[in-house]
Chain A
Amino acid sequence: MKLAIEDVYKSFDPPPSPNRRFVLRGVALQAEQGEFISLLGYSGCGKSTLLNLIAGYIKPDRGRILIDGTIVDGPGADRGVVFQEYALFPWYTVYENIAFGPEVRGVPAGTAREIANRYIALVGLTGCEHVYPDALSGGMKQRVGIARALANEPTVLLMDEPFGALDALTREAMRQELLRIWLQVRPTVVFVTHSMPEAVALSDRIAVMNLRGTLEGIIPVDLPRPRDPHASQFLEYVKTLEQLLRVNDKSSAAREPAVFSGK
């Protein structure tokens, strides 16, 4: 297992309070090498929280997360992160942004340059190397974001609604781009989204999260890629997801206090 999430609980209320509300309660999930997993759910269901836990930005109250068998303790270069807001360094050019990872990890300058150029070509940004992020469109910025994360050759690539800030047309194009890049590089991906068609189009498996902070179900998508979003089988999957999400919408209007409270 490249990624193992074991019985993870997370609350943002401080530990002593008796009625801590838990964003995540006993989430467990595994991902194999090269697998594309989507986390799907309403906003507020804790999917970004789970991603932040994997990234190591926040710590679980209980349970643990393992990458390649090593427990996650803080952020690290083995988990590349792509943000919805891009989070590119505005004072660095496209090239400098993408070379950032290899450089800070102490890769020799020549190799770092070669890596950066390879990923610039991979995401189709050749010719834009010396442009500052400010001058790029949203789609282009996210290409930089993806290349920057991949340039470290991370064990797991974490994507937090990476296309959420893009318009519908660009979003569709970027979906296909991501698929092409993923098929070429084959990283293990955890992809947060609230779009059902997006999850079906991309994923090997879709983890559906509910507002109680648990997994509603894990749906494997058995369709050959590229997937036609108008095919009946595709729509069948979307319908299944819709039903799963509707059920839990009724059953959990509010997040009741958890049985488990702290330690």
Chain B
Amino acid sequence: MQDVAQFWRLRRGRPVAVDYTRWATIATFFLGWQLVAAYNAVHQLFNPVFLPSPTMVLGAGRDLLRAGVLHLHLLQSGWRLLIGFGLGTVAAVVVGILVGRSRRLESIAAPLLDLVGPIPPFALLPIIIIWFGVGELPKVVFIAYATFLPVLAYTVDGVKSVNPLLIRSAYSLGASEMQIFRRVVLKSALPNIFVGMRVSLALSFSALVVAEMIGADAGLGYLIIDSRNFFRMANMFLAASLIGVEYTLFSLLLGRVEARVFRWRKGGYAHALER
């Protein structure tokens, strides 16, 4: 909890008081949902099956847990995302650095990106499945692809905006080209890369769910589709919520890494005035 609090403090740049409004809003939301569902169960304003109450969703979670499958779905989705997102990010950073430092490579890459970039990744999923089969590979490739383009754009931008004086001073201190990359260009582009990763994370999660909805036998996306086939509304709500939970966890993790990497970084609006 400590870390979560610290994360928010870093993001907002002001000290954390216990935010009562925040928790009150969340509590009211679930309470309201529960009440509407309970009222509807009795008075049948619409088919009660359509809207299970939060307790029913929790019950569904308990049942799946007892059946020993819930954690499998969670882990499966988590792994797929981690690997796909990781591969996509690494590939984008490598390509981004190469493209960002060479005008010729950029003039080759730019039109290619203009061609492929406007196509939503989801439109390509069936093609990817035909190319890579129905196993784990197409899903990971698909998630990696969805991650790749935004991270690439931000990386290229970061590399191009490295302060040339820093590169000069590194050369004059005897650094090799490889050392300049690691110790100057990459470090300098890192804030941009993280912005790209944040943007991509949402896309990667969408890609994950879509990929699991089409031809998977485990994972939270699969759970939604499987539950739909049996009209288990509570399970569908549960899976959707858990995707949200996983996204939040990944986002927090990213924030923690960011805070650690950017200890040196100050500034921005929050630091302009002492309040």
Query: Which A residues contact B (CB, under 8 angstroms)?
Result: 55-57, 74-77, 79-81, 83, 85, 87, 89-93, 100-101, 104-105, 132, 134-135, 148-149, 152
B153 at the interface (CB under 8 A from A): no
| B264 contacts the other chain (CB 8 A) | yes
Please tell me which one of the listed residues B168, B173, B187, B263 contacts residue A152 in the complex, with CB atoms under 8 A apart: B173
Known: A87-B163, A87-B165, A91-B187. A80 touches B172 (CB 8 A): yes
Contact A55 B168 (CB under 8 A): yes
CB <8 Å contact, A77 and B172: yes
The residues of B that contact A91 with a CB separation of less than 8 Å are 187-188, 190, 264-265
Which residues of chain B are near A76, meaning CB under 8 Å? 171-172, 174
A89 with B174: CB separation less than 8 A: no
Which secondary structure dominates where chain A touches chain B? loop
Tell me the bound Cα distance from A148 to B176 in angstroms: 17
Total A-B pairs, Cβ < 8 A: 72
Given A90-B264, A134-B266, verify A75-B172 contact (CB < 8 Å).
yes
Most buried by B among A77, A79, A90: A90
Given A104-B179, A134-B264, A134-B266, are A89 and B172 also a contact pair (CB < 8 Å)? no
Q: Bound state CA distance, A56 and B179, in angstroms?
A: 18
Choose among B172, B176, B187, B267 the residue with the greatest number of A CB atoms under 10 Å from its CB.
Answer: B172
Tell me, in angstroms, the Cα distance from A91 to B175 when the chains sit together: 16
| B184 at the A interface (CB under 8 A) | yes
| Min C-beta distance of A144 to chain B, whole Å | 11
- Residues of chain B contacted by A57 (CB below 8 angstroms): 168, 171
B182 closest partner in A (C-beta)? A104
Interchain CB contact under 8 A, A81 and B168? yes
Residue in A closest to B180 when the chains form the complex, CB atoms: A104
B residues adjacent to A (C-beta < 8 A):
163, 165-166, 168-176, 179, 183-184, 187-188, 190, 263-267
Name the A residues within 8 Å of B169 (CB-CB): 81, 83, 87, 148
Contact at A87–B174, with CB atoms within 8 Å?
Answer: no
CA distance A136 to B196 in the complex (A): 30
Q: Which 9 A-B pairs have the closest CB atoms?
A: A77-B174, A75-B171, A101-B173, A87-B165, A104-B175, A87-B169, A81-B172, A132-B264, A105-B174
Cβ–Cβ contact B183 & A104, under 8 A: yes
Of the listed residues B183, B263, B264, the one surrounded by the most CB atoms of chain A closer than 10 A to its CB is B264
Please measure, in the bound complex, the distance between the C-alpha atom of A91 and the C-alpha atom of B162, giving whole angstroms. Answer: 13
Docked pose: A77 CA to B264 CA in angstroms:
26
The answer to whether A101 touches B174 (Cβ under 8 A) is yes
Question: How many Å lie between the Cα of A198 and that of B174 in the bound state?
Answer: 30
Nearest CB of chain A from residue B10's CB, rounded to whole Å: 16
Give the residues in chain A near B184, CB-CB below 8 Å.
Answer: 89
Contacts of B266 in A (CB 8 A): 134-135
Provide the residues of chain B in CB contact with A89, threshold 8 Å.
166, 170, 183-184, 187
Residues in B neighbouring A56, C-beta threshold 8 A: 171-172
Complex alpha-carbon distance, A74 and B176, angstroms:
12
Identify which of B165, B171, B264 contacts A85 (C-beta below 8 A). B165
* Cα(A74)–Cα(B168), bound, Å: 10
The docked-state distance in angstroms from the alpha carbon of A152 to that of B169 is 12
Expressed in whole angstroms, the minimum distance between the Cβ of B176 and any Cβ of chain A is 7
User: Which residues from chain B contact A80 at a C-beta distance below 8 Å?
Assistant: 172-173
Bound-state Cα–Cα, A93 to B187, Å: 13
Question: Which has the most chain B C-beta neighbours within 10 Å: A75, A80, A89, A91?
Answer: A91
> In the complex, which residue of chain A has the Cβ closest to the Cβ of B171?
A75
CA distance A90 to B187 in the complex (A): 9
- For this complex, 30 residue pairs linking A to B, each with C-beta atoms less than 8 Å apart, are A75-B172, A76-B174, A77-B173, A77-B174, A81-B169, A83-B169, A85-B165, A87-B169, A89-B184, A89-B187, A91-B188, A91-B265, A100-B170, A100-B173, A100-B175, A101-B173, A104-B173, A104-B176, A104-B179, A104-B183, A105-B174, A132-B263, A132-B264, A134-B264, A134-B266, A134-B267, A148-B169, A148-B173, A152-B173, A152-B174
